[in-house]
Amino acid sequence: MIVTFGSINVDFVYSVAEMPQPGQTLMAKTLRTEAGGKGANQALAAARDGAEVVMVGAVGDDALAEIGLQNLKAATDISRVSRVAEPTGSASIQIDAKGRNMIVVAAGANLMASSDAVEDDLLQRANIVLMQMENDVAEVEKLIRRAAASRTMSILNLAPAFPLEDQVLSLCDLLVVNEDEAETLAGWLGCDASAQVLSARLDTGVLRTLGAEGAEAFVKGKYIRLPAMPIDVKDTTAAGDCFVGALASALDRGLSLEAAMERASIAAGLACSRAGSQRSIPIGEETAKMIGTSTDHGGSI
């Protein structure tokens, strides 16, 4: 079982020919409204890949809450999602003709989510605690410390890259960053941005996604490098979240890190080939078909 403590947003997605420049007003080709948020996206990706997922977070007492929860209701346990006075989190997303995106997030209710909603019994029953950085940083830190104390595997997607103490980052079993987040983290630590150097500096596992170049990881002295799946990119909006969620699902089932990365890369590639945020996230059968087998590779991180 995976416990995801994270954000729940509603995405307002604008399709544009090119990204606006400062002071410029552009007319969008289309606008669509979708459920989103890094926490929700990753929880849904893990659930669609076959994992049992408990979503923990917060939404407002407003109309946007139902949009934000619509997909999670069908796929995850949302009994620990609280209703608060702040508005449901939202994001403005611009996607250009090349599939690139620019995103601005209003955290809203997400900053009111309490890690105390992950009770001790749930924490002990979970195989993995999955976190991101769109919630109150203090609450994320508390949960990292609790997961370490209970010896529950923790995965932190350091996105957005808000600073945490070295000691706290070192308590995570696996730190997942993209290239920009890795550069930011390396700047804080005063070291190179490679997975191997970051891992050595923090004394923990580090996985760095590299966009079209694939992903690399350095965990427990082992280096892994995998290419990305060749795809015709339509929309990269939820691809990173899809990768993290599918990765957590695979590790939850006992796959080796290398096999989990392969599965996650393919799931993310499928997401890139489709328009949309959560609607682009594939189900496990689709990912398995692209791998060429539905048989799990045994192992552990």
**Rounded-to-integer distance, Cα 90 and Cα 35, Å:** 9
The predicted structure's pLDDT at residue 297: 39
Q: Are strands 77-84 and 89-95 parallel, antiparallel or unpaired?
A: unpaired
Domain ranges, ordered by start, for the chain: 2-291
Yes or no: say if 45 and 37 are a contact pair by the CB < 8 Å rule: no
Task: Provide the residue-wise pLDDT of the chain in tens; the chain has 301 residues.
Answer: 999 999 999 999 899 999 999 999 999 999 989 999 999 999 999 999 999 999 999 999 999 999 999 999 999 999 999 999 999 999 898 989 888 888 888 999 999 999 999 999 999 999 999 999 999 999 999 999 999 999 999 999 999 999 999 999 999 999 999 999 999 999 999 999 999 999 999 999 999 999 889 999 999 999 999 988 788 888 777 899 999 999 999 999 999 999 999 999 999 999 988 877 898 999 999 999 988 744 443 444 6
> Which residues are the active-site residues?
241
Yes or no: say if 154 and 186 are a contact pair by the CB < 8 Å rule: no
Structure tokens of 244?
A: 């993290």
**Rounded-to-integer distance, Cα 295 and Cα 199, Å:** 30
Question: What's the full length of the chain, in residues?
Answer: 301
The predicted structure's pLDDT at residue 107: 95
Could you tell me which CATH number the domain at 2-291 has?
3.40.1190.20
The predicted structure's pLDDT at residue 235: 75
Bridge partners of 54?
A: 3, 77
**Rounded-to-integer distance, Cα 209 and Cα 15, Å:** 25
pTM of the predicted protein model:
0.91
191-229 pLDDT per residue, tens = 999 999 999 999 999 999 998 899 999 999 999 999 887
